Chains A and B, each alone.
Chain A
Amino acid sequence: MNCEEINKHIGDYIDGELPTELMREFENHLSTCNKCREEVQIEKRLVASLKKLRLEESPETLYPTVLEKIWESKEKKGFIDKIFSPFIIRIPIASAGLIFIIVATILIYTNLSKRGVTTPTIYKKEIPQTILPRTESELKEGTTIKTAAAKEEKAQLSSTKDRMIMEKEKIETKQTAPEEQKILLGQKGETKSYGHYLASPSPIDKISELAEEKYKKVSEDKKVFTELDKQIPVTRIEESGTVRRDAPAMPQPSPSPNSTGYLGDKVERQSMYYYQEKTPTYTPEPVPMEQIQKAGQYEQMQPSQKVGEIKKELSISAGVTIAPETSAKDTGKSGIQKAPSRAVAMTPSTNIAIEDKLGVPQSLAYELHTVATYNEVSEKYILISDNYDKVIKEIKRVLKNYHYDYEKLTRKTDIENGIESIYLTITQDEWKSMEAELDKINKNKEGIKEKIAVAEKEKDTEAKLEATSREGRAVLFKESLRLPQNKITVVIEIKITK
């Protein structure tokens, strides 16, 4: 073997893949040729060094971040897009499909109403008068209502998001069992099948069990919510527009004369929407319309409110996002709205999958929208708590992170559609300063993680929340997530002007 051939086989030699005969020849040549020997040594050192370049671990946040991306992408993908994406000729088919759906819906509704057939129903508690708009001047533009078909999809998305939140939480709390993880990955030299992996108990189930045990002791909060459930009568509004009451109307709590109506006020606490999906345990019989009218509640409503009630219900079932446009005219300053003295209010949320997963059918779920002018950028926070004051405190904290005052939250009421939403406008400059702040925060993530760890160690929930929210990510009430009892869920969506 000559030097040229040595050069040709050097790779296989280093890999130990040379056939025995060639290997012998190779080594014979090396023993006689200093130059080749040196080359081989250098190459060996090079390859050994390259192997050292391997990083030990990739960040453990990878999986939850990917889940988050998946969830976000699914959420962005419209229902219509999903249906018609396999087709090449999109517009004509989509148009035809839309027309068909609209016509079919009208026909079905007309027929069902005539025959008195009950259409799928969503049950919800009474929406007290205190939260409904007081003046006609609050009737503003800009409400969008999606089709009812998005509901199912939303539930699916919530499930993915739910999983994402769980995963994030798992990382934060470090409660995954390391032994189980090892089994999932397989020991060295041991073969594990995917089937085995699937059969392994889920760490999430374990967390739920632990949580249930932990919070069996928490009974006082349960009582509060049970009492609250009893107080608020249930009204059923069918998609056909029929309003049915299933229990006699209870006297509504009259608003305190001193009440400003801001969140945190006890009156507002009782006047918030109670929303739940159909539960397996409670299926009341329909009550005739006449009976409801006799009860007087419905009669007292203004005609526009009646329509609004129905539309609102439809919008709830569609998982609607209300995004009223704000106007610079309101204040004279560009993009910033003047804060009214009126109350903020909550729109019902369809995001109740978390509670459902934890086996909480009687959950309270609220969605708080904060919407800005151009609807280009949005930040979404989910707050879950059994304590209303905690929610308010957290909203304030989140807004503070954005250098934004809680008092600047504004409310827009759409009387016709019976929808109220919370929004806040942020100018481009403000947004930039926030981004800079967030960048700074991101750079200091390690410090934050330490703070979280310390807070966890000291069981200081408040400190942990503060540290967590500083990350500029979803703020989670870790403890509350596991509470198997009634919860308040608030989603704050902040859309940023660009």
Chain B
Amino acid sequence: MSRIEVATYSKLAERAGFSITIEKIDIALFKLSNGEVRAIENHSPHPKGGVLTEGLVSGEYVYCPVYDWKISLRDGKVQAPDEGEVKTFQVDIENDSVYIIM
């Protein structure tokens, strides 16, 4: 397990996706309106794929920008009636640094 510093907390914009690539893994980081930060794989589980960073963020969810699936940023689950799941990553915040545990 490693803990990787990926961003500066105070510089993250609210309700916007921050895209990072770590070792070929694309990750979308989101700072929610309540200040929490969530990280999920930047790839929609829709059969035709698509990125998530540019999606509309609403509360604890992001809407896939390409096919409008609603995805939970808490557990990565696609909301009914669609189905699927995106990988989530644990996030740590310490002294204004944002870390991803993977």
The answer to whether A and B assemble together is no
Residues of A at under 8 Å CB distance from B? none
- Residues of chain B touching chain A, judged by Cβ–Cβ distance below 8 Å, are none
